[in-house]
A = this chain, B = another copy of it.
Amino acid sequence: MASIRSSDGYRVGVAGHMTPDEFRRYGREVVDWIADYYERLESLPVLAQVKPGDVRAGLPGSAPEQGEPFDAVLRDLDDLLLPGVTHWQHPSFFGYFPANASGPAILGDLLASGLGVQGMLWATSPAATELETHVLDWLAELLGLPQRFRSTGDGGGVIQHSASDSALVALLAALHRVSDARTTRDGVGVERFGVYTSGQSHSSVEKACRIAGLGGAALRKLDVDPATQSARPEHLRELLERDRAEGVVPAMVVASVGATGTGAVDPVADLAALARDYGAWLHVDAAWAGVAAVAPEFRWLDDGLELADSYCTNPHKWLLTNFDCDAFWVADRRPLIGALSVLPEYLRNAASESGAVIDYRDWHVPLGRRFRALKLWAVIRWYGAEGLRAHVRSSVALAQRFAAQVADDDRFEVVTPHPLALVTFRLRAGSDATRELMERVNASGRMFLTHTVVNGETALRLAVGSPLTEQRHIDAASAELARAASDVLAS
């Protein structure tokens, strides 16, 4: 962006920087490339059709010695990279959980890239911090979260990269609090700590246990109700009791609201009451489902949150905000900051020392951070509460339509409750047939879905979330599955 002509007309900077005029020109080309991509997206195979090494085989072995025009980058993107891309924004992408992009999010993120500010401290760009705090207060209100998570009291929100980061920092705050800061100072070595979550919970909880030095063995998996796949509070009580008897300190309970496998919703209030009784932190991971509470009819997703110590949900999944944007709130920010604040001389400044500002570097693993809130701000303003509700409702209605279609076909069974936009189902013929079905439809390139295991049997997961998905894509998916089921069952 240098090499501009300064106001006095003098050509400046190092030869080779992209001038503002070049940026205008190539910027338009990239904007058009993206708009074209969305217009032709439906014609592309959802799943990349390449083998390991295929993409690398097309790339030169070394970096270029001389610079190349930006058109060369766009050409290679089309020719070399795109065949190796699985199209997450495709209207027939139903795998994992959605990771929605949207126009306002893309442009909000572009502004953050253009500004290129670094918001590690309030002082390093006050607007980056204050907009983030403010927009997370907005989002807490939009979702109907308890008042205690707002920044106006002891709590507050921050944007983490992912729900895995949220689980990790929640655990660090939990250890700090339960040990009265000793773990932060001296490590977790002296005591044994327990972390509790359902077997349906996300792998990030086990990863957090490993990273925080507790090891995978600190994780106790709660039994689930076979029908709902929700954690059983009675089992949590048993585990807490046993751990206490054995001198293990309960550090954190993680409740899932919309667990990854099947979308199971744990009884948060029951788990939270037990956590409180045994002195443990209660973190709620609502990464995918939580944003649905923007619509009042899904406000039950918040049940029990008034007892939670921390909560996260991902606008980067189902709320139209590009990856990465995980919204994380704490009811009390002090143990979080206590666990993570290290203040070297070169970061000291008057604003931090006044205590009047938030320094987000103390709320997560990295020091540096982009102007993270811009894209979420752009999304909320472009859609308004109304538009966000309409998006969530549309996904849920489409998923319900799909569930009804699958339930109508005797060869299939729907496996778990599906109040939101994830449906788990299987072929009655068993796990092998179900898996073969998945492989066939994914290989077709016409749709993409993924699997899990429920009560020991393979089940398929169809998650709706793309703003491009319409009724006809759902109907086509049902038809594709029915056709492939005939092939699988005939063979």
Bound CA–CA A248/B156 (angstroms): 39
A2 to chain B: closest residue by CB: B467
Q: Is the CB of B342 within 8 A of A216?
A: yes
- On chain B, the residues within 8 Å of A48 by CB distance are 125-127
B27 and A31 contacting across the interface, CB-CB below 8 Å: yes
Within 8 Å by CB of A63, from B123, B138, B343, lies B138
Instruction: Determine whether the beta carbon of B381 is less than 8 Å from that of A64.
Output: yes
In the bound complex, how far is the Cα of B108 from the Cα of A110, in angstroms?
A: 10
Tell me which residues across on chain B come within 8 A of A86, comparing CB atoms. Answer: 117, 123-126
Q: Are A12 and B207 in contact (CB under 8 A)?
A: no
Of A181-189, A224-232, A303-311, A478-486, the segment with at least 4 beta carbons within 8 Å of chain B is A181-189
Q: Is the CB of B64 within 8 A of A385?
A: yes
**Cβ < 8 Å to B, chain A residues 166-198:** 168, 172, 175, 182-192
Bin the interface of chain A by size.
35 or more
Verify B67–A382 contact, CB threshold 8 A: yes
Interface residues of A in 110-154 (CB under 8 A from B): 110-111, 113-118, 122-128, 130-131, 133-134, 138-139, 141-142
Say whether A489 faces chain B, with CB atoms less than 8 Å apart: no
Bitwise interface map of A from 14 to 33 toward B, beta carbon under 8 Å scored 1, else 0: 11111111111011101111
List residues of chain B with CB within 8 A of the CB of A19.
103
A404 contacts B by Cβ under 8 Å:
no
User: Could you say which of A264-272, A350-358, A410-418 contacts chain B?
Assistant: A350-358
Question: Once bound together, how far apart are the Cα atoms of A114 and B99, in whole Å?
Answer: 12
Interface segment among A76-84, A236-244, A274-282, A329-337: the answer is: A76-84
CA A163 – CA B366 in complex, angstroms?
Answer: 8
